[in-house]
Structures are given as C-alpha cells and as structure tokens.
Chains A and B, each alone.
Chain A
Amino acid sequence: MELGMVHPPRDRSSFFSYSRAALAALLLFSSCTLMLSFEVPAEAAEKDKVLEESGIRYPEGFDLNTVGRIQGKVYGFFEPENGPVRFYLSSKRETYTVIISPKWYWNDLGVKITDGEEVSVLGSKSLGKDNNLYIIAQEIRLLNTGQSLVFRGSNGSPLWKGPHIGAQGGFGSPLRGRGGVGGMGRGRR
C-alpha cells in the first residue's frame, strides 16, 4: 500500500475560473479572427497578385526553369504606389521590363539607379500577355560600381518575406522549426 500523498481531485473552482478566462479570451480572439478572416481573400489575392498589364504573377511567378542573365542599359525607373519597383532594360536585342521588389525593400538598399546606367540582371524571364518581355529580378549587378543587389534566394524565394524556412511547412505548421510561430519547446510533448 502506497503511503505517500496522492494527488487529490483538482480544485474545480480554480479550473472553471481558468476555463472561463480562457473561453472569454477565445471568444474575443475568435471575433477578431473572423473579422480578419473576411479580409483574407483579398490578402490571398495579393499573394497571387497578377500584374495587370503583363498578366505575370507576382511575387510567385518566378520560375527557376527560365532563369537567365541579361545585360543592358536602364531607363524609365519607377516606384508605383502599389506593386513592385520596375525599370526597363534595353539590351542589344530586346527590351525587358525588370520587376524588382516592394518599394520599402528597394529603399532600404539605399541605391539610386539612373537612366543609361549599365546593369546585368539575373532573373526569371517570361513573355507577358501584352507581348512584352519581362524579367523578375533575382540579382541586379551595377556594372560601373560592381555592386550586387540580391532580391531572391537561390530557389527564387523573395528575401523581403523574411528568412525562407524551407521544407518545414508554413507559418505555424506543426512541422516547422523553431523559427515558426505558436507552440514551443524542443522535446515538449
């Protein structure tokens, strides 16, 4: 016969007060969640945003199978209110529209690019529905200074989304490493 003290039944009042508090928090949170949820389709649409004139998906339209390097002169740099920063790249044979990154990311680079500047662009090439050529930039090299501006990782993932944590599921996935959200505890069951 075990002589030690065995755990008594749980203090139900404290449990229910905890449950009520948790339930209240959940109700509040869920209301917020549902309100936010109605915004999600728009956000999701942004994720799969299709650039109007070209029909190119941005930023997801980067295709590793079409990556190439184009050298030429810059003109017509512009920063739209919404959507990615762009410029035209005039090479010896063709003119491309270079699709770069969000404005805030470009501005953090602190780089000024001027008409006539010679650059080399590494990126994913495609033909827009307007029959113009586009290149989604992975790296831009300023040939007069040798400076290299990197916008995407080797797998094409945009650097402005934060560190790409590959093959570990999405944000909050049970398979995600410690860089994810929610849960905690290495070895915690």
Chain B
Amino acid sequence: MSSRFAVIGFFFIVFILCISVTVKAAWETGLKAGFDSNIDRAIDGGKDDMSLSAYLSLGKETTGESRLDWSITSTIEGTAYKKYSDLSYGEVTIAPGMVYFPYRLWSFTVSPFFQAKEVRDSDQSAIAFGGKVTLLQQVRPDFYLGQYYAYKNSSANVDTYSFEENAVGVLAGINLSKGISGELDYEFSHGDSFRALSRSASRAHTERKHSNSSGKGRYRTFSKAFGEFVIREPVDRHAVGIHIGKDWNKSFFSAADYTFTNAEGDSGSSTSSSGFISLGYRF
C-alpha cells in the first residue's frame, strides 16, 4: 500500500508544481451531486446511493491559433457517498492532449491519461492509464457531432475490481442561445467489470468457473463495502446519456447529466441509472 501512497503523493506533488508554475493557466472548480441506482452493479436488484463530489482542475486549453495544438489538464477530485461511505474516494487525473485540425470545423484529439484513485474500501483503490481518440465535426456553428475510441486499464488492489476496457462512442451536441447547451451520446464498451451476485448465483458462478477449469473463479471476493460477494467477468455495456448545461456568465456554469446503462455478461444482464447535477466556476 505504501507504493500506492507514493504514487498518489507523487501525483499531488506534480499537481502542486503545475499549479505553482502555471499560474496563468485556466482553473476550474465545482461541486457535483450524483446518484446511481445500481452502485454494486448487481444482476438482480442493486443498491442505490447518492454522492457529493468536489473537484479542482488546472489546465491549458487549445487555442486553435494553429492547426496543431496541445493541452494538458490536472484534476483532483473527492467524492463522498451517503449510504455506502466505504465507496468514498479521492482521485487525481492528469490528461495531456494533442489536437490537430485537419480542416476547419474538424478536430482530431489524441489524449492519454493517468489516474490514481484511493478508495476508502482499499480493495478498490487503483491506478489506471489509458487513452482517448476523438474526432469532432462542427456541422453548423451551433451543432456538432463526435466519435471516439477510448481504452482504459485499471489495476486495483484486489483483482476483482481491476478492469481493461475498450469503448467506442458517438455524440451529438447543440449550443442554444443564452448559454444553454446539450449533448446526447451513446457508448458501447467491452471489458471487465465487477458485479454483485446473489448468494446462490455467486456459488453457481464459482462452480461454473471450476467446471470450465478457467481459473477465473479466483476473481470472486467478498466486498465489505457492499456486504456481499462480487465477481469479475467480461461484459458488453451499452450506455445512452444526455447532458444539459448552462453558462450563467463567463465564470459560472451548471450542468445536469443522466445515463442509462445496460451490461450483459455470462452471469446475466444488469441495468443502472446514474447522473448528477453540478455547479462549476472557472477562473
């Protein structure tokens, strides 16, 4: 665990150095109140919870003054859960990016990211890295389309919570008058996910894994945070979401976000609804 703290501490030092050196970069801070109807990703039933997050980010955005531009963002975020407080976490993310404008109104972004997450339930603490490739087209001055591919590899303290995931998504966004904007998107992903099972299903899962001699039964563990057994297995996820925002002025903005997710794996399918409302401040 000391290794993890060292890594997280390192993130913090880098973040603070960035802050001290890049005083002219753009800052952003915000509060976010969220909910999730299936926080344990249960196949039958599911536990719901609400959360409150605060974040601070520092970054340099692209200016578009030349065809090739770069960006970088460091974000520190803390989230507290209401019922399942063991899920509360702190997270640091660093995401550099290169943006190329192959033609006016088109942008192509490549962005690797690095993330360290410390969860109160230390089994779920993880280090992650990945990348995202995004293509955006400004179809009209106030309407854009986008497509992306993302990869994420997260290594948790307990393997049940580790995952590797590939995702593709499409999105459409609109900017209306008076600072109102909206975005609709769909994402398909394939990768590992932890999932909560009922006791009988959990036992059946283990037996099935034994009979297959796959050895993957070792991914089953008891979660103190959820008070139930969870497994890890590959799933296909389909997610649709809507995001609505409003710029109140150049500094203050707010947003509301909703996502419906369906995940299918060997053990069955599960659904969840999640979302948040937020208030942010740029300075």
Contacts and interface: CB of A to CB of B under 8 A. Distances in A.
Contact of B222 (A7, A158, A174): A7
Interface in B2-53: 3-4, 6-7, 10-11, 14, 17-18, 21-26, 28, 30, 32, 36, 39, 53
A162 interface: yes
A30 to B, nearest CB: 4
Contacts, number: 325
B215 to A, nearest CB: 10
Interface residues of B, number: 125
A129 B1 CA distance: 60
Interface in A170-189: 170-175, 177-179, 181-187, 189
A19 B45 CA distance: 35
A171 B220 contact: no
A44 B25 contact: yes
A41 B18 CA distance: 11
A158 B245 contact: no
Interface in B31-84: 32, 36, 39, 53, 55, 57, 59-67, 70-75, 77
A147 interface: no
Contacts of B255: 167-169, 175
B212 interface: no
B226 interface: no
Contacts of B173: 163, 165, 177, 179
B269 interface: no
B203 A185 contact: no
A78 interface: no
Main secondary structure of the interface of A (DSSP, over half): loop
Contact of A163 (B146, B237, B280): B146
Given A108-B103, A182-B95, A164 B30 contact: no
Interface in B167-187: 167, 169, 171, 173, 175, 177, 179-181, 183, 185, 187
B158 A181 contact: no
B130 A184 contact: yes
A162 B107 contact: yes
B274 A187 contact: yes
A37 B74 CA distance: 11
B163 to A, nearest CB: 9
Contacts of B87: 189
A23 interface: yes
Contacts of A179: 134, 136, 144, 146, 148, 171, 173, 183
B138 A162 contact: yes
Contact of A178 (B101, B152, B169, B247): B169
B21 A186 contact: no
A159 interface: yes
Given A104-B67, A157-B175, A189-B274, 17 more contacts: A4-B220, A4-B229, A8-B218, A19-B3, A33-B74, A38-B21, A104-B101, A159-B104, A162-B64, A173-B55, A173-B73, A177-B171, A178-B183, A185-B189, A187-B260, A189-B36, A189-B39
